[in-house]
Amino acid sequence: MAVGAFPSERATLAHKPTSSFSSTSASARVQWPLSRPSNLYRPLFGEIISLCELYSIANVVVFPSSSSTQSSYQPYSQQNGAGGAGHGSAPPSPFIEALQNIGLGSPSWSASAISVFTLILPSADGYVTRSDFLKLRLQDFPYKILRTFEPLRPLQKYSAARPSYGPVTSEYDLATLVESAAGVVQWEDLPTSVSFVDLEVYRTRLTEELRDRLHNAPWLSSTPIARKRVALVRGRPNITAGGPVYRAATALGLDLVIVDEEGHWLQADTEENKMHREAFLVTDMTEDAGVVDRIIQSLVNYPLPIHGVFTLSDNFFVAVAQVAEALGLPASPVSAFETSVDKYRSRLLQNVPGQTARVSSVRELESLLSTGSNQQAAFTPRFPLIVKPTKGWSSECVSKVNNLTDLATAVQKATSRHGSAAVIEPFFDGPEMDVNFVLLDGEILFSEIADEPPCDADSNSATVHSTFSPEALTLPSALPAEEQDIAKSTLRDILVNLGFCTGVFHVEARMVNSSFEYRNQDGVVDLVRKHTHSLLDSGAECKLIEINARPPGYRVTVPTRHTYGVDYFAAHMLAAAGDKNRLRLTTRPYSHVLGGNINDSERGAQYWSRLVYIPAPAAGTVQWPSKLAPCEELQRRKPDLADKIVLGVDYCVPGDKVELYTDGARTYVAHLLVVSRESRRDAIRLGEEVQKAFAIDIEAPITIKAEVSDGETDVDPDAEGCE
């Protein structure tokens, strides 16, 4: 089934003029038991279907009453068990009352709409791996969901109902299933103008879509799940970046302890903060020789056992690995982190002799270029080159260099950022990509490749001042399957050889000698096959840019969760807790095949998505003239784009100060996720429309003085662009 077929079907059901439910011919085609038994308040049809090996479902359609008297559509709870006018006395509807008891159904039961419900019934007993499983797997469903009921608590034992398949005419049986279901979904009402044939198509499409989302994703573990406690070193800077982490921990039944500085926003024992974490351990996080011992002491002094420790802050990777090693907690080797955070050492994993060097100053660069001056005398710059800090993130102070004069400028910029050395390396020409992995003992449980379109510094006319700040990200990748396989196998081997065998890893790379290139075709810039490339050509190589031993930042992790149904933050915490069974169970992507393509490289995404970064258009003070946040204002102003935007996150509020650049990288004010079930090209086109339509008012000051920080105490890959 092609997911792209859904929008047109949905439009047909919602707007196409069709025969009403009184049509005799339509009724004859469907053969449903639509007669109204004496015990029914409203006619309904229920059917139990074997969805897959893991689940059965019960689809229930509730029709309007045949009476034209409006009062007869009031629920029984409002009529004290009495039927409406013209009906006489009638018993309550057990099914409708069961729905109302869990907060579903309608307070008015409109006479002009058809209500549709789906009950999710796991096929076997088990223990709940994640309490918000349905919310995760059904996000951005092509048919609108009004409400979802998920009664299960994390880790609890669930006993399967195991009903017989086929039609269900007893409301009492359906009511019992409501009470025993693992979840119930109420879909958006359908108009009564929908024919029986179209309603049958709707039920079929609904079932097929549910199968694509659920058939390979176990909600339950066959064995009991021990409750565990994990410590997050460095809490998130705000609820926007931290919310997905805290909510995932709660849904997984993980008790979360935060280790951070005095004054962090999660420190206070407010009721809201207690929803996000179990405890806050005040710790001096100064990055000195004693920080590891201080973190260890905080964890040892906590009265409850700690089963895992992790961080999402790049400059604490090594320290946290040392903490885990000292306490005997699950973690990759310290040596692996020490290599990954040093961009010179990680570059040497794919060394190009004579083209890679490390310098601490412009003077050392000059010495390096002097023949025979030191052991690196073999270094011979071949332009273009890349210069970047050995310790850095978010494309900060990364420069493309085309001549010796610019080389000195780039080294000065890189060494001034964090007080660290600069690495000089080759510029690898080819499509850039983000390759994300979830590994378990070296096995790839899940991996995806996202394409990063060319940025300013990729241009042939780029200067040393051009930036590598990303402008967008497109999922899934358009690279051919064989090149994606090369990227995954090359980078996976690098990770495992370093010692990174279990966890979530965000790796940036380029595909050199790719058969694809970015080209403008009819106004859309995307990857297409090179004109000069033949099927006999070969030689594609994956070249590592950097390793991040963590999930991608919030801006990318949440779009992946929407596109594939895989939550990197959840996987990261389960790996830290050593919960290998749930790590395997919770990393199953959807089973969609986009555009009918059976290429496994495109399997799993429910749509093509385009993550659009919005850079600050000017320096100054943020204003909201309309009193609406810019993402919300855009969706109200452009309703034709609104239903294509599944995420919109603003970073700034009125009064915030923004600069055009922050530490050598573009300052962002928002990001949006735009999706298409029609084509990748359509997703890119929509993303460009959204980027052009986005408007933020920035009041320019009389003068703006740029300041360059000489260091920072914490690194947040999701750092917002506003001060």
Structural domains of the chain, count = 5
Is 339 domain-assigned?
A: no
Backbone angles phi, psi at 205, to 5 degrees: -65, -40
Is 62 domain-assigned?
A: yes
Q: pTM for this structure?
A: 0.88
Instruction: Verify that 602 and 635 share a domain, yes or no.
Output: no
Is 252 domain-assigned?
A: yes
Alpha helices in 121-277 (DSSP H): 133-137, 171-180, 196-214, 239-252, 271-276
Give the pLDDT score at 353.
78
CA distance 547 to 534: 32
Is 451 domain-assigned?
A: yes
* Domain residue limits at 317: 228-331
Which residue is it, tokens 């926003």?
Answer: 265
Query: Phi-psi bin for 187: left (phi > 0), alpha (psi -120 to 50), beta?
Result: beta
418 alpha carbon, distance to own chain's centre: 30
Report whether 99 contacts 218 (CB < 8 A).
no
Instruction: Verify that 573 and 432 share a domain, yes or no.
Output: yes
Other CB atoms closer than 10 Å to residue 519's CB: what's the count? 13
The last residue of a domain, from among 221, 241, 260: 221
CA distance 254 to 256: 6
Instruction: Verify that 589 and 631 share a domain, yes or no.
Output: no
CA angle (636 as vertex; 635, 638 as ends), nearest 5: 65
Instruction: Verify that 454 and 397 share a domain, yes or no.
Output: no
Instruction: Verify that 91 and 195 share a domain, yes or no.
Output: yes
Instruction: Verify that 629 and 592 share a domain, yes or no.
Output: no
Q: What is the CATH number of the domain that holds 405?
A: 3.30.1490.20
Instruction: Verify that 645 and 694 share a domain, yes or no.
Output: yes
Give the pLDDT score at 66.
57
Is 173 domain-assigned?
A: yes
Q: What is the CATH number of the domain that holds 590?
A: 3.30.470.20
Instruction: Verify that 184 and 311 share a domain, yes or no.
Output: no
Cα distances (Å, whole numbers) of residue 421 to 363, 377, 701: 12, 18, 35
Instruction: Verify that 144 and 206 share a domain, yes or no.
Output: yes
Instruction: Verify that 266 and 205 share a domain, yes or no.
Output: no
Is 55 domain-assigned?
A: yes
Give the pLDDT score at 470.
87
Give the pLDDT score at 713.
38
Which residue is it, tokens 């195991």?
Answer: 162
Instruction: Verify that 613 and 596 share a domain, yes or no.
Output: no
> What are the tokens at 128?
């709940």
C-beta contacts of 173-177 below 8 A and 24+ residues apart: 174/44, 174/46, 174/58, 174/60, 174/94, 174/95, 174/98, 175/94, 175/95, 175/97, 175/98, 177/48, 177/58, 177/119, 177/121
Convert the pLDDT of each residue in 138-193 to its tens digit: 999 999 999 999 999 999 999 999 999 999 988 999 999 999 999 999 999 999 89
Q: What is the CATH number of the domain that holds 278?
A: 3.40.50.20
Is 345 domain-assigned?
A: no
The last residue of a domain, from among 426, 461, 487: 426
The last residue of a domain, from among 426, 451, 478: 426
Convert the pLDDT of each residue in 500-532 to its tens digit: 999 999 999 999 999 999 999 999 999 999 987
CA distance 364 to 310: 37
Is 35 domain-assigned?
A: yes
User: Which stretches of the chain drop beneath a pLDDT of 70?
Assistant: 1-42, 66-92, 107-111, 371-377, 393-394, 417-418, 533-538, 596-602, 702-723
Strand 157-158 to 126-128 pairing: antiparallel
Instruction: Verify that 443 and 556 share a domain, yes or no.
Output: yes
